[in-house]
Amino acid sequence: MGVETTLFDLTGRVALLTGASKGMGLYMAEGLAEHGARVVVSSRKLDQCEAAVAQINEKCGEERAIPIACNIGYKEQLEALVGETRSRLGPIDILVANAGVNPFYGPMSQIPDSAFDKIMASNVRSNHWLCQMVAPDMVKKGRGSMMITASTGAFNASEMLGTYAISKLADIALARNLALEYGPSGVRVNAICPGLIKTDFARALWDNPEAKANAETNTPLRRLGEPEDLKGVVVFLASDASTFMTGQALTVCGGTNMWS
Q: Mind telling me the catalytic residues?
A: 164
CA distance 197 to 204: 11
How crowded is residue 164: how many other Cβ atoms within 10 Å of its Cβ? 24
HEC assignment per residue over 76-142: HHHHHHHHHHHHHHCCCCEEEECCCCCCCCECHHHCCHHHHHHHHHHHHHHHHHHHHHHHHHHHHHC
Tell me what percent of the chain is helix, strand and coil, each rounded to the nearest 5.
50, 15, 35
Chain center to CA of 64: 19
Alpha-carbon distance values, 176 to 64, 200, 217 (Å): 30, 29, 33
255, amino acid identity: G
Give the residue ranges of DSSP H helices in 207-255: 209-218, 231-238
